[in-house]
């Protein structure tokens, strides 16, 4: 059990720094060619890491240490900043938010960091390879992920085929478990469509964004449980975009919710 007496000061400062990371991501979303936002994000990450070390929080420290190394590599060596890096930064921000919630409620770190640390290390390894090739932004179309090499989708498919593993495409899977999963997808997607349609006309738009984020988060958890890595990554990116929309709304900027229709169009029910 970690020392909870230090948490109040740490969590307060960490929340401020997480907000700065959110703002930095939003800034990049508005101005993709501006790399200055990385300087602001790395300062916030470094501050969280320092506070976590002082408070005896090893998981937060480890995550921030690795994220700082990745961002510094991009900044100092002027490496290409592709969309997968932005998604990873957003995922780290979400994990840090989860850690803060845990510290405020159960006074300990329970969330894992190994998945994100491995992901960060893969980015670093890719940058260190001489044959690094240009990566197209993920927002250019989820359909394109391995689409050329995938078989035709099954007629009853509820999820974009290119996002699913081969055992589903080839119908070599536990059909009962898969039907349960599809039922969950259908229920959550139906709710998401309703919320998306109501968004322009309701006064409580921040609440709508929060509810959408929770529903997509559930879809991501289910995809992770089923082992659908590409689909889980798709949902993770979706959550990140909702988070950015929430930040934009909190800053008084009108939110274009068309990205929700684009995402929903890839889930066929």
Distance (Å, rounded) from C-alpha 135 to C-alpha 144?
A: 12
Radius of gyration for the alpha carbons in the chain, expressed in angstroms and rounded: 19
Distance (Å, rounded) from C-alpha 7 to C-alpha 2?
A: 9
Indicate whether this model's pTM tops 0.85: no
pLDDT tens digit string along 33-59? 888 899 999 999 999 998 888 888 888
Distance (Å, rounded) from C-alpha 132 to C-alpha 122?
A: 12
Residue 49's H or E segment, with its range, is helix 37-55
Domain 141-264 in the same topology as domain 4-128 = yes
**183 or 235: which carries more pLDDT confidence?**
235
Length of the chain, in residues: 269
**17 or 217: which carries more pLDDT confidence?**
17
Residue boundaries of the structural domains of the chain: 4-128, 141-264
Instruction: Residue 68: name the closest of 53, 238, 54, 101 by CA.
Output: 53
**86 or 211: which carries more pLDDT confidence?**
86
What's the pLDDT at 169?
55
Burial of residue 43, with CB atoms counted within 10 A of its CB: 0-12 exposed, 13-18 middle, 19 or more buried? middle
Provide the pLDDT confidence category of residue 99 given band limits of 50, 70 and 90.
very high
Provide the pLDDT confidence category of residue 14 given band limits of 50, 70 and 90.
very high
Arch. (CATH architecture) of 141-264: Up-down Bundle (1.20)
C-alpha separations of 94 from 28, 98, 167, 231, 237 in Å: 17, 6, 30, 18, 11
Mean pLDDT over each residue of the chain, to the nearest integer: 79
Rounded to 5 degrees, what are φ and ψ at 200?
Answer: -65, -25
Rounded to 5 degrees, what are φ and ψ at 34?
Answer: -85, 120
115 pLDDT more than 80: yes
- Count CB-CB contacts under 10 A for residue 109: 19
Contact 206, 250 (CB under 8 A): yes
CATH number of 4-128: 1.20.120.160
């Amino acid at each position: 059990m970690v020392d909870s007496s230090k948490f109040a000061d740490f969590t307060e400062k960490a929340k401020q720094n997480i907000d700065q990371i959110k703002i930095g991501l939003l800034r990049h979303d508005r101005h993709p060619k501006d790399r200055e936002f990385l300087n602001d994000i790395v300062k916030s990450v470094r501050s969280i890491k320092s506070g976590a070390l002082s408070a005896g929080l090893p998981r937060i420290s480890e995550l921030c240490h690795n994220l700082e190394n990745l961002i510094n590599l991009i900044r100092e060596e002027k490496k290409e900043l592709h969309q997968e890096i932005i998604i990873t930064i957003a995922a780290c921000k979400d994990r840090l938010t989860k850690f803060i919630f845990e510290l405020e409620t159960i006074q300990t770190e329970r969330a894992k960091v190994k998945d994100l640390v491995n992901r960060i290390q893969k980015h670093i390894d890719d940058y260190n390879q001489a044959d690094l090739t240009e990566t197209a932004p993920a927002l250019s179309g989820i359909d394109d992920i391995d689409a050329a090499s995938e078989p035709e989708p099954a007629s009853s498919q509820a999820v974009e085929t290119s996002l699913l593993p081969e055992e589903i495409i080839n119908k070599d899977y536990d059909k009962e478990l898969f039907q349960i999963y599809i039922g969950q997808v259908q229920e959550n997607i139906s709710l998401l469509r309703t919320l998306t349609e109501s968004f322009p006309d309701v006064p409580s738009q921040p609440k709508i964004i929060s509810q959408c984020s929770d529903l997509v988060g559930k879809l991501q958890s289910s995809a992770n449980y089923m082992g659908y890595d590409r689909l889980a990554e798709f949902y993770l990116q979706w959550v990140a975009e909702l988070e950015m929309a929430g930040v934009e709304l909190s800053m008084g900027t009108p939110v274009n919710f068309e990205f929700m229709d684009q995402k929903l169009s890839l889930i066929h029910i």
